[in-house]
Amino acid sequence: MADISLRALDALSAADTVACEDTRVTRKLLNAYGLNRALTAYHEHNADRMRPRLIKRMKDGESVALVSDAGTPLVSDPGYKLARAAIAEGLTVTSLPGASAPLAALVVSGLPSDRFLYAGFLPPKRAARRKALENLAGVPATLIFLESARRLAAALEDMAAILGARPAAVVRELTKLFEEARRGDLPELAAHYRSAGPPKGEIVVVAGPPDAATTEIADLDGQLAVALEHASLRDAAAMVAAATGLPRREVYARALAIGGRDRGKA
């Protein structure tokens, strides 16, 4: 039986309709607690059509409860669009959180939780995935990803290549019977899942934040990239060196590396 708060049960029992991803799944939940409420399917395939209808019902004074098949609604599903539309109409929106895979994974990972970024699913193709990881590499926070079992090993290999040997955790089947957490650095985890094959269940990958040196390089690269858009390599290095207080020779060497890399992409 699913874990659910008493407050959530009260909200479901009082709702005029319960909007949900799959009425069959939600019906099982309601039956488990002896609730008999009207169900309305609301998912990514019918959201644009159903959203105005649900908003009208709320404007007419009805109460609509939104649930998702797994985890907290609005995280990686179209629920946020319904909440946004309701807010725009001046309707009351409140939250009764359920299980959240990203937050649960962060807790069991043992990685810093004072600052984190939930990045959802990475692109399925390698080039786009690596580009997305490059954009995240300098973020001074723990990174949280969702990933499919089939792509897990490849995604971990790309994370190791772009993010380096950061401490990480692969957590699957969170809050369920076969919950499992495997910890190590990204190269170790990539090697394990390449050898072991795709695991079963829903997967969250948590990667620790970059160290101070990595963050400093990422910041320097960002400033140089901006400067190089409108200045010569030498002038860009001089401007960034003056702004950061770093040795001009060090900044110029980094500018050379970036300039050469960008020319290679052209």
One domain, residues 127 and 201: yes
One domain, residues 77 and 107: no
| 98 or 102, greater pLDDT | 102
Domain count, the chain: 3
With respect to residue 95, please indicate whether it lies within any of the assigned structural domains: no
Cα–Cα distance between 25 and 147 in angstroms, integer? 22
With respect to residue 231, please indicate whether it lies within any of the assigned structural domains: yes
One domain, residues 199 and 178: yes
Query: Which of 61, 88, 115 lies at the terminal end of a domain, its last residue?
Result: 88
User: pLDDT at position 136, please?
Assistant: 92
Average pLDDT, the chain: 89
Query: Which of 157, 173, 207 lies at the terminal end of a domain, its last residue?
Result: 207
120 beta partners? 145
Residue numbers of the domain that contains 226: 212-265
With respect to residue 254, please indicate whether it lies within any of the assigned structural domains: yes
With respect to residue 94, please indicate whether it lies within any of the assigned structural domains: no
| 260 or 226, greater pLDDT | 226
Query: Which of 207, 224, 249 lies at the terminal end of a domain, its last residue?
Result: 207
CB-CB contact of 30 with 18 (8 Å): yes
One domain, residues 222 and 239: yes
With respect to residue 93, please indicate whether it lies within any of the assigned structural domains: no
One domain, residues 166 and 193: yes
Highest mean pLDDT among 34-43, 221-230, 236-245: 34-43
Tens digits of residue pLDDT in 121-148: 999 999 999 999 988 988 989 999 999 9
With respect to residue 1, please indicate whether it lies within any of the assigned structural domains: no
One domain, residues 84 and 126: no
81 class by beta-carbon count within 10 Å (0-12 exposed, 13-18 middle, 19+ buried):
middle
| Amino acid type, 217 | I
Percent of the chain residues past pLDDT 70, beyond the cut: 92
Q: What predicted TM-score, i.e. pTM, was given to this entire model?
A: 0.74
With respect to residue 25, please indicate whether it lies within any of the assigned structural domains: yes
